[in-house]
Amino acid sequence: LFAQNSEFLKGVVAMDGLPPADRLEVCFAGRSNVGKSTLINALTGRKGLARASNTPGRTQEINFFTLADLYLVDLPGYGYAKAPVKVVEKWQRLLKAYLSGRATLRRVFLLIDSRHGVKEVDQEIMKLLNSAAVTFQVVMTKTDKPKSSELDKILQGVREALAKHPAAYPEIILTSSEKGSGISTLRAAIARLASE
């Protein structure tokens, strides 16, 4: 799966812009600066691939990449309240419509920063995913940053948050793009979904 090139397909701003749901897809979500672009680049082995989603103007788009027979979907980083209310509302409507209506969406990988743990905005996304009955799995990023005792405490908090949501996949994937750790575990999880 990951031996093949991943390519940027398109950025979507409205439901009618979605590519046809003709293959399985997995989605990546997380707060701004969580390390999502870095992780997607590590995952696909392509530096700069996911940068498109971070350039100004693209922040309200759902970005689709092809990866072999899959779509890899990059949701814009959330948690920055810079955008005007109207823009945020439009974005939330699109996000809700996308998440609840996409039959081929197999899983959302929800990225959580190992230094910060689950924040209010993460809880909101979890609630949304849960009500849309979309399975989500937490991927901890930057695990090279905290001391292991700090990481344990953060993980405890994550588990408590997950316990509230039936749509949560119980296994948490620990990654560090810096160290390259956990990337193969994440790849294996995606490959398993692709072969189901």
Which residues here bind ligand GDP, judged by CB under 6 A?
30, 32-38, 54, 77, 141-142, 144-145, 176-178
Question: Whole-number minimum distance, CB 195 to ligand GDP, in Å?
Answer: 27
Cα separation, 115 vs 94, in Å, equals 30
> Which one, 145 or 159, has the nearer CB to ligand GDP?
145
* 22: exposed, middle or buried (Cβ count in 10 Å: 0-12, 13-18, 19+): exposed
User: Would you say 38 or 44 has its CB closer to ligand GDP?
Assistant: 38
Return d(Cα 72, Cα 62) in angstroms, integer.
10
CB 40 within 8 A of CB 49: yes
107 vs 142, beta carbon nearer ligand GDP: 142
Sorted by sequence, the CB contacts under 8 Å of residue 190 that are 6+ apart come out as 1, 26, 43, 70
Nearer to ligand GDP (CB atom), residue 24 or residue 154: 154
Q: Supply the minimum distance, in Å, between the C-beta of residue 191 and ligand GDP.
A: 21
Assigned token pair, 80: 């920055």
In whole angstroms, the minimum distance from the beta carbon of 196 to ligand GDP comes to 27
Q: Which residues contact 191 (CB under 8 A, 6 or more apart)?
A: 1, 2
Minimum gap (Å) between residue 125 Cβ and ligand GDP: 14
Q: How far is the CB of 43 from ligand GDP (least distance, A)?
A: 12
Closer to ligand GDP by CB, 24 or 142: give it.
Answer: 142
